[in-house]
Amino acid sequence: MSLAQLAVQTKVPKSTMFRILFTLQQNSIVVEDHERKLFTLGMKLLDWGNAALSKIDIKTIAHTHLMNLAHATRESFYLAMLDHDEVILIDHVDTPEIWKMVTRLGHRSPFHCTASGLVLSADLASEEIDGMIERQGLRKYTSKTVTTPAKLKKRLEEVKKQGFAVADGEYKPDLCAMAVPVWDHSGHAAVSLMTAVPSDRVSRDKQIVDDLISVLKREALHISKRIGYTGQHPD
């Protein structure tokens, strides 16, 4: 389409549309045919499409593993990812009593006090974490919620080192969640594999946390290898 056609279709003034198109061109989102003075979609959209497809592929591949885990342990298991600085659940195989305690698919939760949010953000650069804190803040949900940047960063360093996160009563007071990262072909944490149990179960049986983390780590490695992970992490 031409600049004039786009302005008419969107009801945006030509001068404003010109600036928008200039920015989109700089980021390869649109491309201009200078001879015909027409704009077409750029290759950047292909990159975004491939990124979206990779998430769908992970979900498809991981679902069987979630089913196997739930069948073997009689617990609920979830797959989550970071999206716009928040955690979003993208798949689950659950038991009814735990499902009521966690949340529905597509629901967003904070990154700083959920097990999935901690393992996924622990893989990010310090500047990215700073940006998330600035944009989202560190809201206090319970008496156990970490609400200072320094403490959160120290926590994330520990999570990255140990390879898992446990959030007991930090987001919901009666829920203990455990999560591990699922690594993609580039060695980055693509999604998290998570389970959750009532906190009172953990208080009665501390071993349950170690047992479930062991199960999560083993299955997450299987999923990671199926999506191309070779055991290498970026520096």
Cα distance between residue 212 and residue 233, in whole Å: 24
pLDDT at 142 over 60: yes
Q: Are 117 and 100 in contact (CB under 8 A)?
A: no
φ/ψ bin of 172: left (φ > 0), alpha (ψ from -120 to 50), beta (otherwise): beta
pLDDT tens digits, 178-194:
999 999 988 999 999 99
pLDDT at 22: 93
Confidence of residue 208 (pLDDT cuts 50, 70, 90): very high
Domains, the chain? 3-42 (no CATH), 52-226 (3.30.450.40)
Q: Please state, for a pLDDT cut of 90, what percent of the chain lies above it.
A: 72
Confidence of residue 230 (pLDDT cuts 50, 70, 90): confident
103 or 141, greater pLDDT: 141
Compute the C-alpha angle 89/119/210, nearest 5°: 100
pLDDT tens digits, 217-227:
999 999 999 98
Confidence of residue 94 (pLDDT cuts 50, 70, 90): confident
Burial 102-120 (b: 16+ CB within 10 A, else e): bbeeeeebbbbbbbbbbbb
Q: What does pLDDT average to over the chain?
A: 90
φ/ψ bin of 199: left (φ > 0), alpha (ψ from -120 to 50), beta (otherwise): alpha
Number of residues assigned to the chain: 235
pLDDT at 50 over 80: no
pLDDT at 157: 97
Question: What mean pLDDT is predicted for residues 13-34?
Answer: 93
User: What SS3 class is residue 168?
Assistant: strand
User: What SS3 class is residue 146?
Assistant: coil
pLDDT at 186: 86
Question: What mean pLDDT is predicted for residues 117-125?
Answer: 96
Cα 51 to Cα 74, 106, 112, 190, 230: the distances in Å are 33, 18, 24, 11, 19
pLDDT at 57: 79
Count CB atoms within 10 A of the CB of residue 121: 26
Q: Is 61 exposed, middle or buried (0-12, 13-18, 19+ CB in 10 A)?
A: middle
pLDDT at 30 over 70: yes
Task: State the DSSP string of 73-97.
Answer: HS--EEEEEEETTEEEEEEEE--HH
Compute the C-alpha angle 182/128/162, nearest 5°: 40
